[in-house]
Amino acid sequence: MAVFANYLAAQDLKYYLPDNVSYNPSVPKPKDIIYHEVGEWHVTHDRLVNYMKAIAAAAPDRVKLETMGFTYENRPQVILIITSPGNHKRLEEIRQQHLKLSNPSQSASVNSDNMPIVVWIGHSIHGNEPSGANASLLSAYYLAAAQGKQIDELLENEIILFDPSFNPDGLQRFSTWANQHKSKNLVTDPNSREFNEVWPGGRFNHYWFDLNRDWLPAVHFESQNRLKWFHMWKPNILTDHHEQGSNASFFFQPGVSSRVNPLTPEKNQELTAKLAKFHAQYLDKIGSLYFTKENYDDFYYGKGSTYPDIQGCIGILFEQASSRGHAQETSNGILRFPHTIKNQFVTTLSTLEGAKVLRKEFLDYQRDFFKKAVTPSPGAISGYLFGDKNDLAKTFHFVEMLQRHQVEINELADTWKDGEFEKGKAFAVSLNQPQSLLIKTIFEKTAEYKDSLFYDITTWTMPLAFGIPYSSITNQQQGVVGKKIEQFPFLKGTITGGKSEYGYLLEWDELYAPAALYELINAGVIAKVATSKFEIPVSGGNRKFDYGTILIPVALQKMDAETLAVILSALAEKYRVKIYAVSSGNAMSGSDLGSSKFISVTKPSIAMIVGPGTNATDAGEIWYLLDQRMNIPATHLEQTVFNRVDLTKYNTIIMVGGTYNEINKEKLKTWVQGGGTLILTEEAVSWAAQNGISHVKLKKSKLPVDSTQRIEYVQREQIDGAQQMNGVILGAEADLSHPLAYGYNQKMVSLFKANKVFMEKSNNPYATPYYYGSNPLQSGWISRQNSDAIKNSAAVIVNAVGSGRVINIADNPNFRAFWLGGIKLFMNSIFFGRIIESASATTGE
């Protein structure tokens, strides 16, 4: 009976809202707009937005709705600005005044005694952690409609940036799932379909990315739009409402103190702990259990609760035990959706109350944070240079990423280091600027750690990820820093020498060269790839061309020279690639253009295995790469569909980490033997080796303890955790003459490894185009046992299986879509995998 009563109470706002508060009757209640009570159904993103619009319309003196931008599925990312009517009248003035706190040249004169604090309330970046977004209905109602002294005082002292859904596409996907499986008589058995979403689930955005890893790289629209608003306001507190396993209780930060990033000031954690007192007090009042100081870290600045910590702001992570559906059996009894919503709502109230009380302390902390940031540190490094003179598109994206975080960038006063950094193609960032800590986390390598357990990756050195040459500079070298740039335009490529009657050469170094090549061959143009170096006259003199240069001979084409010139010129402009017209096939050195060293490129027709068993984020990274960056279509095949379709229409199949229990192995092997190119990454490499599809010898890392040792029970977490491969940066040595390394100019290629797939080098000396030497670690945490396993192992192995090829890539070359440095390896596998000579590949013999 008690359960029934609880269920009924959940149908009513009284279950959630604080006692003794009256509400403005002209503000609609959630049910008036979304047609159901909060917690009765899962709110869809569409209805959530309708409600936010409705309260902004009903309470315009308190609530202003803005659209930050749109998601891939064209859902609006809305944000409410909630404050007192008085503050709304001078909102821009307040914002300008607030921004001065983070500008050390102006902050000293700012009086923080009566300034409002800026608090960003954010919900459900993981779409299938719905209690946050559903609680936003209540918080928005409360803030818009509550009457009395307490709310007036709160709104007078705070500017609330209210983000009801960090991940609109994911929330929509998940709410649809949960609602379509709801029974009138709630089924609480965790085995039921309601609690077991189909792949890829609502956690991710449209391209199956975890947006709670994207705050720093900011690859996705959702993050880019949000960062624009973050820096427009520079909040003092940012909350990040998540869910955890159903058997847990409720978590709020601070987390584990030894797992806080060392760049985060100690005062940040002090303020986090002060705010935590308010959460504890509010949760005690409603009888909810909670925990702090355990499980969760504050280490990777790509997460929503950690990014603010390097911005003079305090990020707060909340983790509510998930009911996932409407009510679920747990070890704590039946966990009802309304209960999970209530905890999130109450901790929004505790955050706002804490912010009001601690207002001045947070404001002054922000001022101090940025003042310290521009105080020269005793270290020898005063800034960094970066830029890839052979790949300006990649350099452009790096500049773009820095500018999203408001990093000031300077041009070079002069070309530097014997031309490694060319003026106009390389840039400088100085540490003498407000974003100096963020610059450090972007450029620094990390080798020392206080703890060996990590919730996520242990390193993210961005120039290594982008594969961009970079160098630190000292105070004495500060002269190389030129004037500040506003933006680095995405320069358009051109055809050097204009229209040709003979042929064109397209260099392979630029990021988007594969996109240009695909568009060409898709249009029926015949293109060949150079497997040797050569030197040939072009407009302006002789030029040396590298391995991988694409030759487009005019006479072989079906179209006339005029049409071809128009197509190529458009491609150069669109993809920023370098094309040279040639008037003769006679090389000054190396192969002539008619040589058999130029091999025709086949149009790739690609299928990727996706669906249950496969790693959604790994597959999503490839989907994003091919679709968004390269404009190349790929078919997504589920294992069961793979088993029944005709595979002859595909010449390339991609498999990422995962388990492939359903797939017809014989069919896959027969397809490879018939001439297919099978590209495997991470655990798919070990799966194929163990199932007789490829020829790779796997290595295992040694166990950290041997069976004769006795170790205390409680030590297990630390010892086992230290053996996890959470993600390190390794430098692989590349054979630059190998088709899989075309387009690289440096022998050392940084790859990202977050798995325990270790491959022995092949016996065939040509079959390991990328391998690790005796000291491959560039940055990150790795145990001695795993490090031993990686030393002198293979990063990439090519197999010949029948007339097909298997490309085994042990690491993740496309990690989270900011690993631009691995893109060439992956695209080379797609375009050039099939031209690798079989005698240069490992066979079964």
CB of 804 to Zn ion, least distance (A): 41
Single out the segment in contact with Zn ion by CB under 5 A; choices: 238-246, 488-496, 622-630, 789-797.
238-246
Q: Are residues 730 and 777 in contact, defined by beta-carbon separation less than 8 angstroms?
A: yes
Closest CB to Zn ion among residues 243, 391:
243
| CB proximity list for 421: less than 8 A, separation 6 or greater | 385, 386, 387, 389, 412, 415, 469, 471
CB of 160 to Zn ion, least distance (A): 22
Closest CB to Zn ion among residues 133, 751:
133
The CA angle 735-736-740, to the nearest 5 degrees, is 80
Closest CB to Zn ion among residues 166, 504:
166
Single out the segment in contact with Zn ion by CB under 5 A; choices: 236-244, 519-527, 540-548, 673-681.
236-244
Binding residues among 640-679 for Zn ion as defined by CB under 5 A: none
Closest CB to Zn ion among residues 128, 779:
128
Lookup result for tokens 């909810």: 288
Count of residues touching Zn ion (by CB under 5 A): 3
CB of 129 to Zn ion, least distance (A): 5
- Among 42, 242, 326, 824, the residue binding Zn ion under the rule CB under 5 A is 242
Binding mask 321-360 for Zn ion (x = CB under 5 A): ----------------------------------------
- Exposure class string for 146-184: b at 16+ Cβ within 10 A, else e: beeeebeebbebbbbbbbbbbbbbbbbbbbebbbebbee
Residue 824: how many CB atoms within 10 A of its CB? 27
Look at residue 507 and give its three-state secondary structure: coil
CB of 128 to Zn ion, least distance (A): 9
Q: Which helix (H) or strand (E) holds 390?
A: none
CB of 599 to Zn ion, least distance (A): 48
Single out the segment in contact with Zn ion by CB under 5 A; choices: 39-47, 234-242, 720-728, 786-794.
234-242
CB of 317 to Zn ion, least distance (A): 9
Strand segments (E) across 450-521:
470-474, 481-484, 495-496, 503-506
Closest CB to Zn ion among residues 216, 801:
216
Query: Distance (Å, rounded) from C-alpha 196 to C-alpha 216?
Result: 31
Is the bond leading into 254 cis (omega within 30 degrees of zero)? yes
The letter for the amino acid at 365 is Y
CB of 485 to Zn ion, least distance (A): 37
CB of 295 to Zn ion, least distance (A): 13
- Among 47, 75, 126, 533, the residue binding Zn ion under the rule CB under 5 A is 126
Single out the segment in contact with Zn ion by CB under 5 A; choices: 118-126, 332-340, 361-369, 576-584.
118-126
Query: Distance (Å, rounded) from C-alpha 96 to C-alpha 248?
Result: 43
Single out the segment in contact with Zn ion by CB under 5 A; choices: 129-137, 278-286, 493-501, 666-674.
129-137
CB of 711 to Zn ion, least distance (A): 32
The letter for the amino acid at 146 is A
CB of 457 to Zn ion, least distance (A): 16
Parallel/antiparallel/unpaired status of strands 804-809 and 794-801: antiparallel
Closest CB to Zn ion among residues 124, 812:
124
Closest CB to Zn ion among residues 166, 770:
166
Instruction: Point out which residues pair with 136 in neighbouring strands.
Output: none
Closest CB to Zn ion among residues 130, 604:
130
Single out the segment in contact with Zn ion by CB under 5 A; choices: 240-248, 424-432, 534-542, 792-800.
240-248
Residue 279: how many CB atoms within 10 A of its CB? 25
Cβ burial, residue 757 (10 Å; 0-12/13-18/19+): buried
Q: In this structure, is the dihedral angle defined by the CA atoms of residues 772, 773, 774 and 777, taken in order, positive or negative?
A: negative
CB of 132 to Zn ion, least distance (A): 9
CB of 203 to Zn ion, least distance (A): 7
Instruction: Tell me the CA distances in angstroms from 720 to 709, 724, 753, 757, 783, one per residue in order.
Output: 15, 7, 18, 17, 10
Instruction: Tell me the CA distances in angstroms from 34 to 210, 418, 776, one per residue in order.
Output: 28, 65, 56
* Chain residue at closest Cβ approach to Zn ion: 242
Single out the segment in contact with Zn ion by CB under 5 A; choices: 121-129, 715-723, 753-761, 811-819.
121-129
Closest CB to Zn ion among residues 245, 379:
245
Single out the segment in contact with Zn ion by CB under 5 A; choices: 63-71, 120-128, 290-298, 778-786.
120-128
Binding residues among 510-529 for Zn ion as defined by CB under 5 A: none
CB of 217 to Zn ion, least distance (A): 18
Closest CB to Zn ion among residues 126, 669:
126
Closest CB to Zn ion among residues 129, 510:
129
CA 835 to chain centre: 33
Applying CB under 5 A, does 533 fall inside the site for Zn ion?
no
Q: Are residues 313 and 235 in contact, defined by beta-carbon separation less than 8 angstroms?
A: yes
Parallel/antiparallel/unpaired status of strands 381-386 and 427-430: antiparallel
CB of 795 to Zn ion, least distance (A): 32
| CB proximity list for 457: less than 8 A, separation 6 or greater | 213, 300, 726, 727, 754, 780
Please state the three-class secondary structure of 653-670 as a single string.
EEECCECCCCCCHHHHHH
Single out the segment in contact with Zn ion by CB under 5 A; choices: 50-58, 163-171, 242-250, 521-529.
242-250
Single out the segment in contact with Zn ion by CB under 5 A; choices: 2-10, 125-133, 749-757, 777-785.
125-133
Closest CB to Zn ion among residues 47, 126:
126
Residues that bind Zn ion (CB under 5 A): 126, 129, 242
